[in-house]
Structure formats: C-alpha cells, structure tokens
Structure 1
C-alpha cells in the first residue's frame, strides 16, 4: 500500500508539520522571542515561527480567489513570517501574531501583485488598495458584470477607499479585461495562449560561447599585465581599468613625476599589453592550425588503411 505521507498533498504535509507545534502562551512567546532577539537562539526561533505556521495558512487562504497556487501563497507568507521574527520586539507588549499578520499579508499581496497578471497591477498605495478591495466592494453593490462601472458605483468606491475616481475606472478595466495565459484557443481548443510566447533571451550555446570568450579575454589581459613593471601596471589599471579612472594630476602626485611622464608611461604600458595579447593570440592560432593538420593526416591514414 502506498505510503500515506508520500501521497499526501503539499499542503497536507505543511499542516501536519504545523500541528506539531503547540500554541504558545503569552509568557512562552515572550521567552522565545527574547531568546532569539538577544541570544540568537535558533531553537527559540523555531518554536516561535513554528507555532504560527497555521496563521500563515489561514491568511493565505484568503487570497486563493486570485487563481494562484495555495502552496505558493503559503510559501510567500512564510517569508513574511520570518521577516516578522527578525523585526519583532517583545518589549513593546504586542502579541507576535498581531505583528506578524501585517508582514505575512504584505508578502502575500506583493506576490499576488507581481504574478496575477503580466501587466504590473499596482505600484502606489492607492492602486494596491483598489486591487485587493475592488471585488469585495463590487460584490456588495451587486456590480458583478465585466463592463464599466456605473458613475454612482465609481463615486461610492472612490469615497470608500479614498482614491481618485479615475483610478477606480482604470483598475476595474484592467481587472476585467485580463486573460489567463492558460486559456485555450483554436478550433479544437487544444492550444494555450502561453504556447505562443517566444523567449527572446540568448540561447544556451550563445551564453556559453560568450562566457568562454570573456574568460579568454581576461586570460589575455592577465598575460599582458604580467609583461609590465609595477609602476606601469598601476598606471594602466588606474587610467583604463578602474571603475573611476584617476586623473593624470592624481597619478603625477602619487608617483612624483610630471603629468606628461604619466601619460607616456600609460601609452607605453598599453602598447606592451597589446603586443603580449597579439603574440598569445597568434601562438594559439598556430597551435590550432598544427592540431588541424595532425588531425587531417590521421584521418587520411585511417582512410588509406580502410581502403
């Protein structure tokens, strides 16, 4: 018979783990929070966070209406729970659940906003308030169709949420006109819109080739710098390789020479590096050509033997 634990859904496993932790009394909660805050006690952190896993699940369920997997919502909520544990101050007298709820909701809401639609839904506080409250207010007013809201409904919602009426209209249109990438299309409905999306990123072959080319250039540069003396190397690095290049005046003061002498040393160092890089490149080309000739002779010998 299949092992029940292996066949259980992820959320069943999560809840099974959450039930292992007992609810904390205010005294125990304060003790664990203090031990974690003052001593970095990992066991105390585990007890404090573990006893609130069920809270995360309860809050995450409130956002299931946005069509996102409950497991993902819970995972994001757990991130918020850990952030709350990092910031919680037991000396202020609040229960951890009260404090953590704000962090959990914020983490889940941020996840919903970034994943519910391809278009970024909310950036301002007013837009976020609209996104998470508009459906509830529309249901209360029985404005459940997918068209534009009536002027009276727009005015009511704007007043209720203290946001501009134009943002109410815009958010309602964005929410009602959004379509799922998993929606079927075609004559037989056997394709999804997401199948038509193209990936404009470079191929793996191009990425590997570019990385190899960068490594080769760095090795050439390292070889070229080794051909310089300490002063030439320092000047070339300061003038051409630093994020914020130094001026001739600064290097003149550093090495106690004139600005013109610094410029001459820079030019000479650059020419030395160029020569070293060109010599290395030619050596590699000759080695590659010799290897090709050896390979060709070997292939010819094998062909003659086979004949």
Structure 2
C-alpha cells in the first residue's frame, strides 16, 4: 500500500490542503499564519529566502528573532521532507564576469591580496544552512521506511534473544530499531501536543528531546522483546516508548515530580474530566477518590502538587510585548526597593491610624483610676505598648512580677472589661492585628513608630 504525498497530489488538492496537515509545531503554525500562509500551495510558492524575509519583517527584524526564524525554517524543511515535498528552489545568483586589467599584472603567490569587499558580499549572498538536530533521524527513518512483517519481527526477536554470535545479535537488534523509528516520531508528536494542551503553554521539551527519549525506549524494547509471548514487537515497543517519553516530561519541570505521583495526577485529571462531563458540575474530592481508588487525602495532595508544578514559570521566558518586541519575564517584575507614591501614601495613612488607635488605648488605660498601677504595667507590657511594639507571652510577664500566668490573664481580662465599658471599640484581636501590621507598614512608609 503506497502512501500519498504532497508532491504526487494534484494542484487543486494542494490548494485545499491546510498547513496543519504537515505536522508542524504550534509556534511554526502561528508564525506562518502571521505572514498569510495558510495552505500548502501558499507555502510551496515561497523559497527559503522569501520566507526568511517575511518572517523577519513580521518580527520587526530584531536580533533575538534570528534564532526563532531559523528554527521555524528547519521545522518547515523537516515536515516537507517527511511528506516528500519541497519549497520553491532559491534563485541562483548570476555569474559575475570579472574583467582583467591589462595595465596591472595578476598577482600570484605571496603577493596575492584578496578583495575583502567582494568576499563579504559573497558570504552575505550565500544560502544559510538550516541545521535540524533531527536530520540524521529523518534520513535513517526514510532509509528504513519499510515496515517489518509479523514473521520478520518474530525471527529478529528470536535472534536477539538466542543468538550466540554478538555481531549477529546486534545486527538483528539494530534492524528492529531502525525499521520502527517512524513509530517513535508518531508517539513523540502525540505526547508533545498532549503536553501543550494540558499545560496551556509550550512544553519545555522540544520534539528532538522527545524523539531521543523515545528512541531509548525503543532500544530497551528491542533488548527485552520475547516473541514467545505471542504478541508483535510494535505492540511491546509502544509501551516502552510511551513510558520513557512520559518520564522525561515529568522530569523536565522546574520541580521534579516522582513517577508514582505523576501517574496519580494523570488519573485524577482524567477522572475529573469524566465526572464533570457526566454530572455537569465540578467533581468533589470524595468522588475523585472513588474513581481513582485512592484516599481523599492522597487526592488532595496530588491536586496540590499539580497546582504548584503548573504555577512555576521561568524568569527567562521570552514574552512578546504589545509593540511586537521581545522581553524576558524578569523585566516585568516590580522592584521591591521602589514603591509607588499612592501606595506609600496609603501605607502612611494606615500606619498613622494603627498608631492612633494604640495611643488611644494607652490613654484610656491610664485615665481609668479604677485600674491599679501594677495592673496597667502588666497590660502595657503584655501587649508591647511600652515602645517595643511586640506582644509578650503570659509566662514572660508573670516571671517579671513573680506571679502566675493565670493571674496575668485575669488582670488583662479585667482591664479589657473596664476599657470597653468606657466606650473604646477595640479588643484583643484588633490590637494583635494592629501590632502585626505596624512592622510591615513602617517599611513601606519609611518611618519608625513607637507607641507612647
């Protein structure tokens, strides 16, 4: 059965073929749409140089965009090679006729001086080589594109397992691997797009990284395949390829998630989607636990780990600003050493209000003649109203006066009853809140405060 390629398709079919069918990455698709390329016919109407110029214009020709453009062109060439298609060939520069001077003899040997301006111009006009790390992989995949039959897989698996000659055994193993490279590329692309869809962002692993990990899984499968089990080699290899790629994706995050926790997170997400579709509402923790056969405590832990992992971002991520320029994420983080004038004014007003309330509390405490001097000192020292602005413990105050902590608690309670009876709308919790805020507000307002 022959596979239809773009080059063999009629022109009308190519005009109707969307560029999504080429298997390009999401970044490449968005850049092609930005320059008006939406179909295969639009793409093949351009050559490499014209695409490079259009992409540079769409990105304002910044120096940082050069690497992105080259990666985009490499992705396009790789996808076209898989489809046995190609872009429009680049025009060849016309040969230049150099007229020999009759008056000046030609210099040879050590007297030769190269024309540096001409060499610079030739270097600028020379086509740039787009180096794709997957080029060797694509060449091997195209060279060994024939699919092995079931009998061939069985015979090669038997040779890998039973062959005594190491050279023959390695040759059979290599044949199994090389003729299934297409399977690795197919699974790697599926995992790449699945990762993008789940995280709502581009994966930290590129396609070349996933292909490398999948190839390692294919090599393990070729070593451990047992044809006596009765299943095909591709059925066994798929599991190993998926396993190595999945573990590589889990290990690629900013925080490494253990394999068992990553598998539990995948089960929890799958169960949440199924329950939400079936019930038409967000699922509860208990429902998710029943679906994945896990304790609700472990389900909460898995959701917390997934939330923390998803919220982690790199400070060096490139962000496209409103004017289409590029900047890294750390350039948008506000410096804590500087404060907006309106926030500083608000902090000062809030600080003045907290100090005024504490000063009013102290004044009413000393104005009430029914409270003894000793009880006032206990109250003031307990709440830090003596200028320290730091609350003390009952034990600390009791040791200073040689009494029990229960007596200190009763004295503080009795003082509050008299202060609130006098009409002050404050209590124990409000004083603690003001004390906690004063330290932070002092830093914002740039002033030190003492409660007299």
TM-score w.r.t. the length of structure 2 is 0.36
Structure 1 residue runs of 5 or longer lacking an equivalent are 144-148, 197-307
| Pairing 1:159–2:315 present | no
**For this pair of structures, how many residues does the alignment match?**
185
Give the one of 102, 107, 122 matched to 2:258. 122
Quote how far apart the aligned CAs of 1:173 are.
2.6
Q: Is contact 1:34–1:90 with CA below 8 Å preserved after alignment?
A: yes
User: Helix, strand or coil: the match of 1:43?
Assistant: helix
1:32-181 equivalent positions in 2, closer than 5 A: 32-39=156-163, 40=166, 41=168, 42-64=170-192, 65-66=194-195, 67=203, 68-115=205-252, 117-124=253-260, 127-142=261-276, 152-177=283-308, 178-181=311-314
> How far does the alpha carbon of each residue in 1:182-215 deviate from its partner, in whole angstroms, 9 at most, with x for none?
4469x99833459x9xxxxxxxxxxxxxxxxxxx
Matches for 1:1-307 after TM superposition, within 5 Å = 7=130, 9-11=132-134, 14-21=137-144, 22-39=146-163, 40=166, 41=168, 42-64=170-192, 65-66=194-195, 67=203, 68-115=205-252, 117-124=253-260, 127-142=261-276, 152-177=283-308, 178-181=311-314, 182-183=316-317, 190-192=327-329
Q: Cα offset for 1:44?
A: 1.7
Q: Which runs of 5+ in 2 are unaligned?
A: 1-46, 49-73, 79-128, 196-202, 334-452
Quote the offset at 1:60 in angstroms: 2.0
Q: 1:53 to 1:180 in 2, by over 3 A?
A: same
Q: Distance in 2 between matches of 1:87 and 1:179?
A: 38
In the TM superposition, what is the alpha-carbon distance from 1:84 to its structure 2 partner?
A: 1.2
Q: CA–CA distance in 2 between the matches of 1:8 and 1:159?
A: 51
- Pairwise CA distance, 1:176: 2.7
Match of 1:199 in 2: none
Please give the secondary structure, in 2, of the residue aligned with 1:133. helix
Distance 2:135 2:284 in 1: 41
In the TM superposition, residue 49 of structure 1 has moved relative to its aligned partner by 0.9
Per-residue CA distance 1:114-146 (angstroms, 9 max, x = gap): 11x22232343xx23223334444444559xxx
**RMSD across aligned C-alpha pairs, in angstroms?**
3.5
Give the SS at the match of 1:31: helix
Q: Per-residue deviation at 1:7?
A: 3.0
* Structure showing greater Rg: 2
Preserved contact between residue 60 and residue 74 of structure 1 (Cα < 8 Å): yes
Indicate if the aligned counterparts of 2:247 and 2:259 stay in contact, CA closer than 8 A. no
SS of equivalent to 2:285:
helix
What's the CA shift string for 1:252-295, capped at 9, x where partnerless? xxxxxxxxxxxxxxxxxxxxxxxxxxxxxxxxxxxxxxxxxxxx
CA distance, structure 2, for counterparts of residue 80 and residue 109 of structure 1? 11
Alignment partner, residue 270 of structure 1: none
Q: Which has the higher helix share?
A: 1
TM-score by length of 1: 0.51
Distance 1:16-1:133 versus aligned 2 partners, 3 A rule:
farther
Distance 1:92-1:141 versus aligned 2 partners, 3 A rule: closer
Whether contact under 8 Å (2:318, 2:327) holds in the other structure is yes
CA offsets 1:218-243 (integer angstroms, 9 cap, x no match): xxxxxxxxxxxxxxxxxxxxxxxxxx
8 Å CA contact 2:268–2:292 kept in 1: the answer is no
1:27-48 Cα deviation digits (max 9, x unpaired) = 1111222222222323222211
- Is the 1:121–1:131 contact (alpha carbons within 8 Å) kept by the matching residues of 2? no
Q: Where does residue 226 of structure 1 map in the other structure?
A: none
Distance change (3 Å), C-alpha of 1:9 and 1:137: farther
